Amino acid sequence: MNIIFFLIGCSVLIALIFLGAFFWANRTGQHDDTYTPSVRILFDDEVVADERAETKKS
């Protein structure tokens, strides 16, 4: 049953890693703007599209 001490240690360690990750995200401003990225991701990668259009023309 002593394994339980090891498991508790592991669970607290993992939780601490997540807490640290949250702190890092918060400090680097990843929660500053929660709206714009949702729009940005929908934009087409038009650089590639333009090249295709040009090759079609030629």
Which one among 42, 56, 57, 58 touches other proteins, defined by CB under 8 A? 42
How far is the first Cα of the chain from the last one, in angstroms, to the nearest whole number? Answer: 75
Question: Does residue 46 interact with other proteins by CB under 8 A?
Answer: yes
Is there binding between residue 22 and other proteins (CB under 8 A)? yes
Report the distance separating Cα 31 and Cα 25, nearest Å. Answer: 7
Q: Contact 11/17 with Cβ under 8 angstroms?
A: no
Q: Using CB under 8 A as the criterion, which residues of the chain lie in contact with other proteins when the complex forms?
A: 4-5, 8, 11-12, 15-16, 19, 22-23, 26-27, 31-36, 39-40, 42-44, 46, 50
